[in-house]
Amino acid sequence: MGNKGNSLAKKMAIAMLLGLTAGTAFLLLRERLIASGNEAGWNWINNLLFQDITQSDAENAIGIFYLLGQLFINALQVIIVPMVFTSITLAICHITEPAKLGRISSRTLGIFLLTSITALIFAGGVGTLVASSGAFGKVAVIDIPLASQTFGSNPLMILLQAVPTNMTEAFSSNGQVLAVVVLAIAVGLGINALHGRITVFKTLLQEINEIITVCLSYVIHHFGPVAIFILLTRTFAIYGIDHLLPALAYVLTAVAALLVFLGLGYALFLRLLGGIDPLPFVRKIAKVALFGFSTSSSAATLPLNRKVCVEELGVSEEVTSFVLPLGMTVNMDGTAIMQVIATIFVASGAGYPITWSQVILIGILALITSVGTPAAPGAGAVILFTILTGMGYTNDAAILAYSLILAINRPIEMLVTSLNVVGDAATCVLVAKAEKTLDLERYKSKD
C-alpha cells in the first residue's frame, strides 16, 4: 500500500508542476492577447477550454477543462453524504463502550477547538500587524460585480440547521453535511442502545461503505493526477493579472500565514501534544494537502485523506471514520485564518478602525461561521459576508473590497483547503495516539 501511495504522490506532484506551468503560460498568453487588442482570440480559447458553461452567457461555449474538472469533482462529491453517514454510524457502532466513545469525542472536539483558537490568534496577530504597517491601505478596488446576491445571517443559524426537520432533505444536499453528521451520530447511538438486535441495517451500511471505498479508490488513482493538472491549469488561466494586482498585500499576507501554519503549526501540535515525530506525517500527508489544494474541497479530499490515515499513518478505522467526517464539517482552521485576514483587509481598505477588541470579535465570529462552512470550493469567501455584516463593515468601499476578494480568492481557497484537511489528519493521529491505537511502526515506515 505504501508503494502505491508514494507512486500516487509522485504522479500528483508532477501533475501539479505541469498544471502550474500550463496555467501560467495561458495566463501570460491571455495578457498578451488582450494587451495587443486581440481579446476575441482569447475569448475563443477561453470558450473552447476554460469557460464555465453554466453561466448565462456561455450557451455556445465548450469549456473542455471546465467539463472534465467538474465531472471529477462531481464523481467525488456524489458520495459525500452516504460516506459521511455510513462511516460515522459504523464508527459509533464499533465503539461499544460508552466511555470510549465519550473519550474519542471529547478529545477530537478538544483538539479541534485548540487548533482553531491557535489559528485565530495567529491570524489576528498577522492581520493586525500588516494593517498597522499601512500595507493594506485604501484598497484600490476595481468594479467587479458580486458573483451573487449574498446576505449575512445570524451565525447561530448553524445550530438550527444541525438538527433537520426533514431527514430526506438533509440527505439531498451536500450543503447540509452537519445535519447528516448529527443524524449519523443519533442512528449509531440508537443501534448501540439496541445491543446487537439491529443486524440487517448495519450490514447494509457496511456494504455501502465498502462499495464507496472501492469506487473512490479507483477514481482517485486513475483520474486524480489528470484532474489536478486540469483544475490547476484552468484556475490560473482564468484569472488575469489585473485581478491579482490590486489586492497583492492581502494575497501575500493570507498565503504566508496559511503556509506558516500548514508547515509548522500541525508539526508542533504533533510534537507537543502527542510526543510524535512530525516528519513521517509531513511526508505522507503531502499528497492529501496537494489533492486538497487542487480540488479546493474538503469533501472531495475526504476519501484520500481517510485512505492515507489508515494505510500509511497507522490510525485505526474506528478513529478515522469518526474524526475525519466530523472534521470536514467543524474543523476549519484554514477557513478561519482566511476570514480573519480578509475581514481586517476589508475593514482597513474601507476606512474602518482596527482595534484589538474588534479583532477578538472578528475571531469569535470567524470561529462560529467557519464551523458552518460547506466543504465545497469557494464557500469560505461567501460565508465571509456574514462576518462583515456582523461587524458592520457594509459601506460601499467594503462591498467593493469584498467583491474583489470574491474575484481573486480562488488560489487562497485552494491553500485553505490544504490546511483544513491536514488539520483533520493531524487530529486523527493525535486521537489515535491518546487512545493507544496508533500503529507506530506503520506511521514511521518509509514505504
Segment 382-402, tens digit of pLDDT:
567 767 777 778 776 777 677
The answer to whether the predicted template modeling score (pTM) of the entire model surpasses 0.85 is: no
> All domains of the chain, ordered by start, with CATH?
2-444 (1.10.3860.10)
pLDDT at 65 > cutoff 60: yes
Burial class (CB within 10 angstroms; exposed 0-12, middle 13-18, buried 19+) of 60: exposed
pLDDT for 144 equals 38
pLDDT for 405 equals 74
- How far is it, in rounded angstroms, from Cα 183 to Cα 43? 47
Averaged pLDDT of the chain:
80
pLDDT tens-digit series, residues 131-188: 888 777 654 443 434 333 344 455 566 667 778 888 888 888 766 767 887 888 888 8
Sign of CA dihedral 164, 170, 176, 177: positive
pLDDT at 55 > cutoff 70: yes
DSSP string, 126-140: HHHHHHHTTSS-S--
Grid cell 489585473 is found at 242
- How far is it, in rounded angstroms, from Cα 411 to Cα 228? 14
Arithmetic mean of pLDDT, 233-240: 74
Q: Higher-confidence residue: 225 or 94? A: 225
Q: Which residues of 206-235 are buried (b: 16+ CB within 10 A; e: fewer)?
A: eebbeebbeebeebbbebbbebbbbbbbbb
Range list of β-strands (E), 89-201: none
Q: Higher-confidence residue: 369 or 257? A: 257
